[in-house]
Amino acid sequence: MTVLDALVEIQREQDPTLAFRYSCRVGMCGSCAVVINGRERWACRTLLASLKTEAVTVRPLYHFPLIRDLVVDMAPFAAKMKAAGAVFVAKEGEEAFAPIGRNVKERRQIDGAIECIGCGACLSACTMVGWNEQYAGPAALNRAFTLMADSRDGAGAERWPLLLSEDALVRCHGQANCTEVCPMELSPTDSILKLRRKSIFQLVRSAHRLDTSGATVVA
Ligand code: SF4
């Protein structure tokens, strides 16, 4: 029996007003993400027996506005994606949907980061989002990382100022809570580190451009 089965049972037998969100029931949609026994998990993929505790606590995701019971408002999650520029913009003349071979270098670079299904578990686990709700958070930065490596994407120049702002890459303290809880076994921490490395090249390039144009470069 999973935690989701238990919630359905409680709703049917004890409290028909209990609100919780789920859709696929098989770990595909991520909509049943909640905090179970203090850790972010999908209710449909968590067996009660695996928790090995007599009582099980279930609470809504942290750092999201609460709608009711276990249901949170996912709108801020989408807003963070936009704020970090984590939205695909096709280059002029490029097809938005184009097959990219599984073994090409471009794909291999981001292979470990593309399976995000937007469940929000990482955002809930991120203590930096807890401190600063403007911070874009792990899922948005992970998505931005995949876009920055995507040759079809044409928004890199507009995305860098967003990523280099006060509330993006610089805010991550590398605690890796996101990576620890991600049910898809992604590592947003790793994506953020790689994006930071790229950002150094970007900053050096911009400084060089300033320098050659005769402007003063402050090191
Ligand atoms: S990175 Fe993982 S935990 Fe975060 S939203 Fe995507 S699938 Fe969920």
Probe residue for ligand 1, chosen from 62, 81, 117, 119 as the CB with the greatest number of ligand atoms within 8 Å: 119
Q: Is 3.40.50.300 the CATH number for 3-72?
A: no
In this predicted structure, what is the pLDDT of residue 217? 45
For the chain, how are helix, strand and coil distributed in percent, rounded to 5?
45, 10, 45
Give the domain 75-212 fold.
Fumarate Reductase Iron-sulfur Protein; Chain B, domain 2 (1.10.1060)
Q: How far is the CA of 115 from the centre of ligand 1 (A)?
A: 8
In this predicted structure, what is the pLDDT of residue 210? 62
Give the list of residues 6+ apart from residue 186 with CB closer than 8 angstroms, or none.
Answer: 112, 113, 115, 116, 142, 179
CA distance 167 to 67: 26
pLDDT in tens, 111-148: 889 999 999 999 999 999 999 999 999 999 999 999 99
Taking the domains of the chain in order of start, what are their residue ranges?
A: 3-72, 75-212
- List, chain by chain if needed, residues with CB within 6 Å of any ligand 1 atom: 30, 116-122, 138-139, 142, 182, 184, 186, 188
> Which residue(s) pair with 153 in the sheet?
90
Of 17-21, 81-85, 91-95, 164-168, the poorest mean pLDDT is in: 91-95
Alpha carbon distances (Å) from 119 to 32, 64, 102, 128? 8, 12, 25, 18
In this predicted structure, what is the pLDDT of residue 151? 85
Q: Quick one: which atom of ligand 1 is closest to the CA of 40?
A: 3
DSSP alpha helix (H) spans, the chain:
3-13, 48-51, 75-83, 105-110, 121-125, 127-131, 138-148, 156-163, 177-181, 188-212
Q: How far is the CA of 139 from the centre of ligand 1 (A)?
A: 6
Q: Per-residue confidence at 219, pLDDT binned at 50, 70, 90?
A: very low
Q: Quick one: which atom of ligand 1 is closest to the CA of 182?
A: 3
* pTM confidence score: 0.90
